[in-house]
Amino acid sequence: MAVTTQQLMQWKQQGRKIVALTAWDWTIAQLLDSAGVDVILVGDSLAMVALGMETTLPVTVEEMLHHAKAVRRGVKQALVVVDLPFLSYQESPQQAMRSAGRVLKETGAMAVKLEGGYPAIAETVYRLVRAGIPVLGHVGLTPQSVHLLGYRQQGKTKEAGERIFAEAEALQDAGAFGVVLEHIPADLARRITEKLAIPTIGIGAGPHCDGQVLVTADLLGLSERKPPFVKSYVNLRETIGQAVREFCSEVREGEFPQGSE
């Protein structure tokens, strides 16, 4: 059975942890889906891991749609969520509706994610959800605000923590089906997770969230640089580099291909 937003809420109630990973193309999406990942996020981090951009800011709606279509073709079970890129939703609820509508209509993805929880964003989430567009929120470290916040841990002071708490609650009240908590103290993430009825999905937010998400390039050891809270389960940069060096050497030495067909 394909994963739904309602299923994620039930899993929270049952204490069944949610597994989420990012994907940027068909191959990665197929691999994640067949390995049993619950939520596949076409994150705007693809700007950095797939397009070589310095930050997530330059990626466009068109580029997100292009990658999301490829990902969607590779997924049979997981819930596919697509990030709305920087300045494709902050201007007005109407702008957000156009961007999110394109994501659902043109890619076949089931939901969108957007960053922030301040009143104008909560209002936008409210309108999108009323129009039938499921929304995943994202608070704490929000990479689209890198030039304001940097990549530092957020919510360290009592005041900053309370602000993030209030944003997460506002997103729930607006109808978001879940919220990503990025790079905040574990205790703050625990308090938010206990208070909210919707699932929290953490990244660098400790073990108490209802689920965990990682950027797949980091998990696979493909990224040149990665945040300190990431665990790489394999070093594919090394493995791929080694395989390619071997190929170069075998071609140059006349060892590949062997014999005649």
Strand partners of residue 201: 180, 211
Question: Within 10 Å of residue 250's Cβ, how many Cβ atoms?
Answer: 13
Closer CB to ligand KIV, 127 or 138, in the complex = 138
- Concerning whether 182 is annotated as a catalytic residue, the answer is yes
**Can you state the angle between helices 158-174 and 119-130, rounded to 10 degrees?**
20
Q: Which is nearer to ligand KIV, 86 or 159 (CB)?
A: 86
The distance in angstroms from the start CA to the end CA of the chain is 46
Q: From the CB of 176, what's the least distance to ligand KIV, in Å? A: 14
Among positions 203, 205, 209, 217, the unique one binding ligand KIV when judged by CB under 6 A: 203
Nearer to ligand KIV, 130 or 231 (CB): 231
User: Considering beta carbons, is residue 45 or 124 the nearer one to ligand KIV?
Assistant: 45
- What 213-221 contacts at long range (C-beta under 8 Å, 24+ apart), as own/partner pairs, is 213/20, 213/21, 213/22, 213/39, 213/41, 213/180, 214/21, 214/22, 215/21, 215/22, 215/43, 215/45, 215/49, 216/21, 216/22, 216/23, 216/28, 216/32, 217/22, 217/45, 217/49, 217/50, 219/21
Q: According to CB under 6 A, which residues from 209 to 228 bind ligand KIV?
A: 213, 215
* Coil, strand or helix at 17: coil
Among the listed residues 54, 167, 182, 246, the single catalytic one is 182
Looking at 5, 22, 88, 193, which residue binds ligand KIV (CB under 6 A)? 22
Query: What type of residue sits at position 107?
Result: T
Q: Which of residues 230-249 bind ligand KIV (CB under 6 A)?
A: none
Query: Which span sits near ligand KIV by CB under 6 A: 43-51, 60-68, 88-96, 149-157?
Result: 43-51
Residue 180 in the binding site for ligand KIV (CB under 6 A): yes
Cβ distance to ligand KIV smaller for residue 56 or 124: 56
- Number of residues binding to ligand KIV, judged by CB under 6 A: 11
Comparing CA positions, the residue from 160, 139, 135, 147 lying closest to residue 204 is: 139
Asked whether position 124 contacts ligand KIV by CB under 6 A, the answer is no
Residues that bind ligand KIV (CB under 6 A): 22, 41, 43-45, 83, 138, 180, 203, 213, 215
Indicate which residues carry an active-site annotation.
182
